[in-house]
């Protein structure tokens, strides 16, 4: 079960970024939400130069799985 129903529609890095930020809105306000928003931004900065489509899809899949774990925690 994905944290939000549109997880299967995520195909690009921009879609992933928006999806993860929408997931953050469901977290409690305060330090927890700020931490995950910061982590999302940092991850996108780290992977900004990735150009291998297969690797990008792996990153997207893993990010959605991680978001699912966080939301169910």
DSSP 24-61: HHTSPTTHHHHHHHHHHHHHHHHTTT---HHHHHHHHH
pLDDT of residue 30: 92
Residue 1 within any structural domain of the chain: no
In order along its 73 residues, the chain shows pLDDT tens digits of 455 667 778 888 899 999 999 999 999 989 999 999 999 999 999 998 999 999 999 999 999 999 989 888 7
Residue 23 within any structural domain of the chain: yes
Residue 22 within any structural domain of the chain: yes
pLDDT of residue 1: 45
pLDDT of residue 21: 93
Count of domains forming the chain:
1
Q: Which domain holds residue 29?
A: 7-72
pTM of the prediction?
A: 0.82
pLDDT of residue 20: 93
Residue 47 within any structural domain of the chain: yes
């Amino acid at each position: 079960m994905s944290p939000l129903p549109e997880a299967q529609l995520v195909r690009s890095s921009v879609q992933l970024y928006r999806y993860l930020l929408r997931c953050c809105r469901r977290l409690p306000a305060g330090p927890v939400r700020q931490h995950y928003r910061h982590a999302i931004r940092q991850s996108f900065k780290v992977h900004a130069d990735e150009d291998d489509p297969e690797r990008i899809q792996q990153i997207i899949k893993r990010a959605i799985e991680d978001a699912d774990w966080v939301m169910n925690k």
